[in-house]
Chains A and B, each alone.
Chain A
Amino acid sequence: MSERLRAHTSRFVAGLALLALLVGVAACGGGGGIEGGGSTEVSTVEAESKPSGELTISNWPLYIDKQTIPDFEKATGVKVKYIEDINSPEEYFNKMQPLLAKGESGGRSLMMLPDYTVAKMHELGYVQALDKAAMPDVEKNLIKSLRHPSFDPERSYTVPWASGMTGLIVNKELAPEIHSICDLFESRYKGKVEFLNEARETVPLVMKCEGVDPETATEADWMKAIDKIKAAAQSGQIRRFTGNEYVQDLLNGNVAAVIGWSGDGVQLELEDPKLEWRMPTEGCMFWSENAVIPVGAPNPTAAEAFMNYVYDPQHQAQLTETINVVSPVEGVRPIIEKKGSDSANLKLIFPSSSFTKNCSSIPILKGEEEQNILQAFDSVLNE
């Protein structure tokens, strides 16, 4: 017996040693590097003319190409930490809110968030004003349709990063005649349509199909549209509410049509010619992800320099080609066309004003109205 116990013990000791070694390696090596914002060095906020130091950017996944950051680092010497941790604006806002309330940004200097989120942040005092003199290219090249949005008329605290349109993505074989949001409610497509789980995009689209202008809609209008959606969900008309999980359903032929984003539309059309992004007859929802500099951001100088950098049409072109959303920068289309690259479906990336003539921007809701509407829509989602 003693031999066996000795065998056990020596094995145990060896195992423990190995484990300790592994843990030691793990704990020592790279313990700081993998952590997020908190360990980024905070440089003093000075009014420097030349950008330097480090810059931490929070963005959505797959919202940048591979070259922009290295090129920027080389051009300015700024070291960039790029985190793709924004998956849903509300989730992100909730995660950041306690820090922002204390005047901290978790080390981040730039965040890309939708119109309604940045409007709320501005109201709560969570964002800094921008130094326009530091961003001449932005001033020069921002496209006209985005210059004076209702939530930031002078673009004093936001710079658009990317824009997009929410409309219909249709499987031409299964649903050739769907051209309007209202068509999604027809019984022959029962169980074969999907709606977006974003209240501020889905409900206005349904309101538009009812003839109501989302920008002047009352709470009652919203509730009526929500009721219509609810009835469709309960009857089985709507298969499910999704983020961009509709992609898999479209590619697998599980659905005939969805409410979807133009960026996905470009990708899907490339991947499967049966699929097509269509502008609804009543118009789309036209939105932007905006870059803001949060309160407490280290190195706002570098942040502004970065935004200025991407507003140079040359630099913007490679970005637009990769992420396929509507570019907020003037002068990019000729560059892409000259390159003759495969950035197909320029209609979705450079929509003409006649194409988007019926589109609405995302309405900004406030206070109790916002709470009521979100709660009503959420209860439909969670049916």
Chain B
Amino acid sequence: MGQGREWLRKHWIAVVGVLVVVYLLVPIAVILLFSFNDPSGRYNFSWSGFTLSHWSNAFGIEDLTEALLTSIKLALLATLISTVVGTMMALALVRHKFFGRRLSNFLIVIPMATPEVVIGAALLSFFLLLGTFSLGFETLLIAHVMFCISFVVIVVRSRLIGFDRRLEEAARDLGAGPFTTFRLVTFPLILPGVFGGAMLAFALSIDDFVISNFNSGTTVTFPLYIFGASRHGIPVEVYCIAMILFGVTVAAMGFVTWQQQRAEKLAQIRPDQEGASAPNVPAGAAA
């Protein structure tokens, strides 16, 4: 017993860490469980039997699948635009001193400090006033890009801050022009940060509810579908799709990491020559 306590004392942090992970996964386990539920009525709140029928029918509800596709489309486009724009902004903010830099920094941070309810409502009033954008996919895309930009900038910027400029100088010394340097040296090295920002943007977009609720017009995104359905009984298929999203994400992250590790093994470079390049972790967290 003394050994047990000794072990606990030395490893208590890890124990707490693992417990927190378990805590994070509990709702996921519940969602997984209820995706196999076979409710007799409309409501999926209590267990009434095991079935795979909802899994085989996961994409069978037309409105649900349409909403899901809308969300994915929206997230992809929003991620692309906000990542490109945000990376450019981060480069400008970190590397150049110019008039208005302080103000730009401020401008990036303010949207993150504004509650979503406020942004959603303000955008709605604005779109209605303007009248040029029809409430729907267009306005959703605009809104999503808007709130993603700040996050991308923050992520890429922190990656840039730790960047060893000497690598670029070395490339320049070896005769590379500024664009070539960017293409072959800078960009690949900040890629994990860019990728991290992109993943964050994608996650924010696909999960967004509040801002979308205000600005969606008649377009239904996946979270909006769930909200509407929650008032009348969420079909079990929704739970199945939530698990599929979860699974696909994990698989995607796993794939990317595996690729990175392979590339590193192939290159066989000593760690301290890497400067600020990607360590052995998925880019999603490498901020």
Contacts and interface: CB of A to CB of B under 8 A. Distances in A.
A and B assemble together: yes
Interface stretch (B26-34, B39-47, B239-247): B39-47
B14 interface: no
Given A36-B136, A85-B220, A252-B45, A245 B76 contact: no
A23 B70 contact: no
B137 interface: yes
Interface string A6-26: 011101100000010011001
A83 B218 contact: yes
Interface residues of B, number: 45
B269 A37 contact: no
B188 A5 contact: yes
Contacts of B136: 35-38
A338 interface: no
15 contacts: A3-B266, A4-B263, A7-B267, A9-B188, A12-B187, A27-B77, A34-B73, A34-B219, A35-B217, A37-B136, A58-B218, A61-B229, A61-B231, A84-B63, A87-B231
Given A35-B136, A61-B232, A62-B233, A1 B76 contact: no
Nearest to B259: A11
A134 B219 CA distance: 32
Nearest first, the 3 closest Cβ-Cβ pairs linking A and B are: A36-B218, A4-B267, A271-B41
B218 A37 contact: yes
A31 B140 CA distance: 13
A87 B228 contact: yes
B76 A26 contact: yes
Interface in B43-93: 43, 45-46, 63, 66, 69-70, 72-73, 76-77, 80
A12 B188 contact: yes
A22 B43 contact: no
- The B contact surface, by secondary structure, is helix
Contact of A36 (B42, B73, B128, B219): B219
Interface of B: 40-43, 45-46, 63, 66, 69-70, 72-73, 76-77, 80, 128, 134-138, 183-185, 187-188, 191, 217-220, 227-233, 259, 263-264, 266-267, 269, 273
Contacts of A248: 43, 45
Given A1-B273, A38-B136, A247-B43, A8 B191 contact: yes
A38 B216 CA distance: 12
Interface in A334-350: none
A98 interface: yes
A217 interface: no
Nearest to A88: B231
Contacts of A34: 66, 69-70, 73, 137, 219
